[in-house]
Amino acid sequence: MSEGTTFYITTPIFYPNANLHMGHAYSTTLSDIIARYQRLQGKEVYFLTGADENAGTVVRAAKKAGQETYMYLDHIVANFKDLFSKLEISYDQFIRTSDETAHWSGAKELWNRIAKAGDFEKRSYEGLYCVGHESFITEKDLVDGKCPDHNEVPQFLKEENYFFKLSKYTANIKEKIEKGELEIVPQTRKNEILALLERGLEDVSFSRPADKVSVGIPIPNDPTQKMYVWCDALANYISALGFGSGDPTLYEKFWPADVHVIGKDILRFHAGIWLGMLLSAGLPLPKKILVHSFITSGGKKMSKTLGNVIDPQQLIGEYGSEAVRYYLARHISPFEDGDLTVERFKEVYNGELANGIGNLVSRVLKMAVTNGVAIPTEHHEILPLQYSEAFDHYKINDACEVIWRKIQEADKHIQDKQPFKLIKTNPEEAKKDIALLLVDVWKIAVMLEPLMPSTSATIQTLLKENRMPENPLFPRKD
Ligand code: MSP
C-alpha cells in the first residue's frame, strides 16, 4: 500500500443537511476498514472525517426544519457522531468547517498562498448554480430545465466573484496523474479524469458575495466576499492537521495524505480543483485518491432526492453494527455499484452470519469445551497472501471471500471428519482435529479484525478463555 510508518486517510466531509444514509455510511465504513487494516500492519494512522457545514444546502435544510442554522447543524452533527460511534468508526478527528479554531486559519492560509501565486482574478460572472451540487452547472446538464441529480431548477446568478485560474494547471495535473505520482484507483476513474483533463479544466468561481450567503469563511482582506464552499471544504484535509495554525505538528507528520477516499460523484472536485489548489499553493499532492462507486437500492443510486434511502440506524438497531459493516464490506464492491435492500440484507445476515460464522464458532467451541481441548499455544499470525493482496488493492470484498472460504473449509472439515463422533472411537485423533479447528477459527478472527472488530475481539476472547458464547454471536432473524 504505502511505504513509511505513518498513514493518513480521509473521508469526504458530509453535508449536514439531513441524517446520513447507507450511501454515506459506505464512504466512512470503507475508510475505517482501511484505517484498521493499516494499524494492523503497524502503521501510525491518522484518520479524518467531518462535516461540510458552510453550504447553501445546509442553510436551506435548517430553514425548512424551522431552526436556526447553527442549532440545526449541532443537532445533525450529533447524529453523525452517534452513527459513527455505533458503526465503530475509529476516526482520530471529526472536523467541522464552521469551527473557526480548527479550520478557518488553515483555509485562509491556503487562500493567501493561492493569491500570492497570482491565481485569483476578480471577474463578473453569470451562470446557473445548483445548490445540491454546490457548483455552477451548464444548460446542457439540465433535463427539462432541472438538474437531473437533484431534481430542481438551478438558480441564475449574476455576480462579481474571485476566479481561481485552474485552467493553467491542467497540463501539470495531467502529467502527475499519468506518471502515477498521484494514483487514482480504480483505473476506470483514472481514465475518466484523464479524459476530462484532455478537454481542459476551466477556471472556477471561488467566492460568493458575502451579502448573498449567510455562512462561510470571509475572504482574507476582502470581507465583501466569502469562500466558495468547495474551496473551503477541500481545505479541511490540511487545516485539520494544523496547516496555517500555530501548531503544524500533525501537518508536518502526516501530509501528504496516503489516501483520500471519495465517491465517484466528487472525483472532479478532488482530481481537478483540489490538486490545482495544492499546486498553486506549492504544497505536496496526496498520494492516492480511492474512488468508490454507489450503493443503489432497487437499482437506483440511494439518495434523499430519489427517496430510496435506507437508514443505517434502523439496520443497526435490528441486526447490529457488525452486520452492517459486514454487508458493506462483502457485498458492495468498492469499484462497482452494489445494491442493498432490507430483504437482501436479512437473507445475507441469516445465511452468512447466523448460519455461517456464528454457527461455526459455537460448534467448534462446544466441541472444544466439552472435550477439554484448548487452542494450541503455538500458532502463528500469518495472514494469507490473497487476503493481504486484496487489501493492498483495496478489494475489500475479495478479502472477505478469503475469510468465508476458510469458514466453508472448516465447516466441510467438521462434516467430513465428524470429530464429535470420532471422539468415541479415536479420541486422540478427534482432539487433534478439534485443536486444528480452533486454530482455524482463530485465524478467521484475526482476519476479521478490520472488518468486524467486535466480533473478532469476542471470538479471540472466547478462544483464549476456552468457553462457549453465552448467546449466539448472530441470532437468527425471522
Ligand atoms: N460535502 C461534499 C464532500 C466534500 S469533501 C471535501 C459532499 N458531501 S455529501 O454528503 O453529499 O456526500 C459525501 C459522500 O457520500 C460522497 O463521497 C458521496 O459519493 C457519498 N455518497 C452519497 N450517496 C452515495 C451512495 N448512494 N452510495 C455511495 N456513496 C454515496 O459531497
Tens digit of pLDDT for each residue in 125-175?
888 988 888 888 888 888 989 988 888 899 998 899 999 999 999 999 999
Say if residue 32's pLDDT is above 90: yes
Grid coordinates belonging to 340: 442493498
Pocket of ligand 1 (CB under 6 A): 12-15, 23-24, 26-27, 52, 233-234, 236, 262-263, 265-266, 294-295, 301-303
Average pLDDT, the chain: 95
Distances (CA, A) of 461 to 42, 128, 402, 458, 467: 22, 59, 22, 5, 9
Q: Per-residue pLDDT tens for 56-101?
A: 999 999 999 999 999 999 999 999 999 999 999 999 999 999 999 9
Convert the pLDDT of each residue in 320-342 to its tens digit: 999 999 999 999 999 999 999 99
Q: What is the mean pLDDT of residues 359-385?
A: 90
Task: Tell me if 34 sits within 8 A of 329, measured CB to CB.
Answer: no
Atom of ligand 1 nearest to the CA of 337: 27
Checking if the pLDDT of 2 tops 80, the result is: no
Q: Atom 16, ligand 1: which residue's CA is nearest?
A: 263
Choice from 10, 11, 14, 229 to test ligand 1 binding pocket (greatest atom count within 8 A of CB): 14
For residue 238, the one-letter residue type is I
Q: In ligand 1, which atom is closest to the CA atom of 17? A: 10
Residue nearest to atom 19 of ligand 1 (CA): 263
Name which of 34, 16, 18 is nearest 26 in CA terms. 34
155 touches 199 (CB < 8 A)? no
pLDDT in the model for residue 3 = 60
- What's the CA-to-centroid distance between 24 and ligand 1, angstroms? 6
What is the distance between the alpha carbons of residues 359 and 89, in angstroms, rounded to a whole number?
Answer: 27
In the reported structure, the alpha carbon of residue 276 is separated from the centroid of ligand 1 by a whole-number distance in angstroms of 21
Mutate to test the pocket of ligand 1, among 22, 83, 265, 297 (most ligand atoms within 8 A of CB): 265
User: Is residue 446 scored above 60 in pLDDT?
Assistant: yes
Helix (H, G, I), strand (E, B) or coil at 182: coil
Name the pTM for this structure.
0.95
Q: What was the pLDDT predicted at 150?
A: 83
Listed by start position, the domains of the chain span 6-292, 341-465
User: Can you give the pLDDT at residue 377?
Assistant: 81
Which ligand 1 atom lies nearest to the CA of residue 52?
A: 1
Residue 168 CB partners (closer than 8 Å, separation 6+)? 119
Confidence of residue 1 (pLDDT cuts 50, 70, 90): very low
Q: Which CATH number is 6-292 given?
A: 3.40.50.620
> Ligand 1 centre from 437 Cα, in Å?
42
- The enclosing H or E element of 233 equals helix 229-234
CA of 16 to the centre of ligand 1 (A): 11
pLDDT of 60 reads 94
| Atom 23 of ligand 1, residue of closest alpha carbon | 23
Ligand 1 centroid distance, CA of 436 (Å)? 45
Give the separation between CA 469 and CA 368, rounded to whole angstroms: 12
Using CA atoms, how far apart are residues 356 and 348, in angstroms rounded to an integer?
Answer: 10
Taking CA atoms only, the protein residue closest to ligand 1 atom 13 is 14
How many angstroms separate the alpha carbon of residue 294 from the centre of ligand 1? 9
157: helix, strand or coil: strand
pLDDT at residue 381 tops 80: no
Q: What is the DSSP letter of 147?
A: B
User: Predicted confidence band at 185 (pLDDT cuts at 50, 70, 90)?
Assistant: very high
pLDDT at residue 379, rounded to an integer: 67
The domain made up of 341-465 is a member of CATH 1.10.730.10: yes
> Which residue's C-alpha cell is 432497487?
298
